[in-house]
Amino acid sequence: MTLYPGSCHCGFVRFEVEAQIDHARICNCSICHKRGALNFQVPDDALILHTPLSELTLYM
């Protein structure tokens, strides 16, 4: 397994995931499309959230 760093598009939410990435999906939202972002689903226990939950809000 490899540890991959990541963040939301503005960089406020930072995290790492431990995974063996063997495929990825293309997101077609306007932000991901402009950035060429790909996504990969991991189980909850593979996510290491570095931004405290108390600092997060719901984005709509």
Q: State yes or no: pLDDT of 59 exceeds 90.
A: no
Rounded Cα gap, residues 28 and 19, in angstroms: 23
Range of the domain at 8: 2-53
The pLDDT tens digits of the residues spanning 2-55 come to: 999 999 878 999 999 999 999 999 988 888 888 888 888 999 999 999 999 999
**Considering its fold, how many domains does the chain have in total?**
1
Residue 58 lies in a domain: no
Residue 60 lies in a domain: no
DSSP 8-class letter at 11? S
Handedness of CA 19, 58, 7, 29 (dihedral sign): positive
Residue 20 lies in a domain: yes
Q: How far is CA 12 from CA 4, 23, 24, in A?
A: 17, 26, 23
Residue 49 lies in a domain: yes
Residue 26 lies in a domain: yes
**Of 47, 49, 43, 57, residue with least CA distance to 14:** 49
